[in-house]
Structure 1
Amino acid sequence: MRLVALTPDQLVGSQHDLYEQIISGPRSAGHQLFPLTDGTGALTGPFGIMLHVPDIGRPLQEVGAAIRYRTSLSARVREIAILSVAATTSCAFESYAHERVGRAVGLTQFELESLAGGRFEAADPVEAAAYRLCELLNQDRFPVEDAEFQSLRSRLGETALIELVVLVGYYRTLAQLLNLFEVGVPAEE
């Protein structure tokens, strides 16, 4: 990792406030599918990076919490989208973390392997449309043809279209941070 993993005793002011916000927020509730902190108490994944610039980290993690916990997307669609970004960006941490979440929300091993390989075929028309939109976004395929846009809108609805665009943008931002600072799978794993 190219950044120091900040432990709780190293945090000052707004770093400490952000740390507390993350570890006491919705990500820490319930069964943990991947560790939020390491053995020293340092935040794992993108959250450790966010502590280095808390004025950006705070709103960034708030957007992430909204995307993960307050959208109309089904848990499966959300994880399909996140894993599509992880595969496109070759982001080891996001693949590691969200394969666990994906499995917990009902993605099969075959589906997880397909997503990791950059493809996904779904019998469910909403999941298929969501993945198609993610493909377009991950490949920066713009403009989207009118017929395809209308098809996506009819299957997903306008709210989900907006939510998926924001989700893909957010997770691409995280992947860029994680990849640049070489944050991979936690050493314990």
Structure 2
Amino acid sequence: MTRLEPIPPAELDDEQRELYTAITTGPRARGAATFELVRPDGALRGPFNAFLLSPRLGDALQNLGAAIRYRTALPPRVREMAILTVAAHWDSPFEQSAHEHVGRACGVTEEEMAAIREGRVPDLADPYERACAHLARLMVADGDVDDESWDSWADQAGNITVFELSTLVGYYAMIALQMRVFRVH
């Protein structure tokens, strides 16, 4: 049972309405690699409903999330496999469902998603994708990358990727925590 009822659009104040519009008309609302942001009654789904509780912070979070998804150098498959790794680790049903949909549109296979759901790194032929998947798995499992793993994977990924990947993992872990606290499924 949710701890935060959906906030109907008719009840939004000006700041909330501005954030609502930014979320529903921004990059998340366009393209094939998206998921449903709005319920049939117009209320926001997933973490976005909670963002409305504190519109200034919610706007900062939605902007960070948009930057992570649309303005990094991470290829879509790498990005979605990393998000799914966080979702599986945190047992976050909304993240899992939404990003499996996006992942499919980005070419993540059912077998790869099954491995991630099971807490495993998928068998990936591409060395860059394999390095990123191992790094993301370590970040969620250990909250760190040990020296041996760093030596094995970081050179293949590169420092920019490790920075962007660790930012993604941290952001989606925070979102998973918020959804867990508010019982958003």
TM-score by length of 1: 0.92
Aligned residue for 2:40?
39
Aligned residue for 2:125?
123
**Structure 1 residue 30: deviation in Å?**
2.3
Structure 1: unaligned runs, 5 residues or longer: 185-189
Aligned residue for 2:13?
12
Alpha-carbon distance in 1 for matches of 2:52, 2:88: 26
**Structure 1 residue 141: deviation in Å?**
4.7
Give CA deviations for 1:33-58 in whole Å, capped at 9, x if unaligned. 42110011111001111111112111
1:138 equivalenced with 2:140 (yes/no): yes
Change in CA separation of 1:60 and 1:141 when aligned onto 2, cut-off 3 Å: closer
Alpha-carbon distance in 2 for matches of 1:163, 1:105: 18
**Structure 1 residue 73: deviation in Å?**
0.6
Aligned residues of 2:33 and 2:102 also touching (Cα < 8 A): no
Per the alignment, in what secondary structure is the counterpart of residue 16 of structure 1?
helix
How many pairs were matched up?
Answer: 183
Instruction: Point out the more displaced range, 47-56 or 158-167.
Output: 47-56
Instruction: Point out the more displaced range, 47-56 or 85-94.
Output: 47-56
User: Which amino acid is the alignment partner of residue 11 of structure 2?
Assistant: Q
Alpha-carbon distance in 2 for matches of 1:166, 1:60: 12
1:172 equivalenced with 2:150 (yes/no): no
Per the alignment, in what secondary structure is the counterpart of residue 89 of structure 2?
helix
Alpha-carbon distance in 2 for matches of 1:142, 1:130: 14
Alpha-carbon distance in 1 for matches of 2:28, 2:34: 10
Alpha-carbon distance in 1 for matches of 2:66, 2:152: 29
Aligned residues of 2:128 and 2:156 also touching (Cα < 8 A): yes
Aligned residue for 2:154?
153
Alpha-carbon distance in 1 for matches of 2:166, 2:71: 15
TM-score by length of 2: 0.94
Instruction: Point out the more displaced range, 57-66 or 108-117.
Output: 108-117
What percent identity do the matched residue pairs reach? 43
Aligned residue for 1:187?
none
Equivalent residues in 2 for 1:6-155 (5 A)? 6-31=7-32, 33-119=34-120, 120-142=122-144, 144-145=146-147, 147-155=148-156
Per the alignment, in what secondary structure is the counterpart of residue 30 of structure 1?
coil
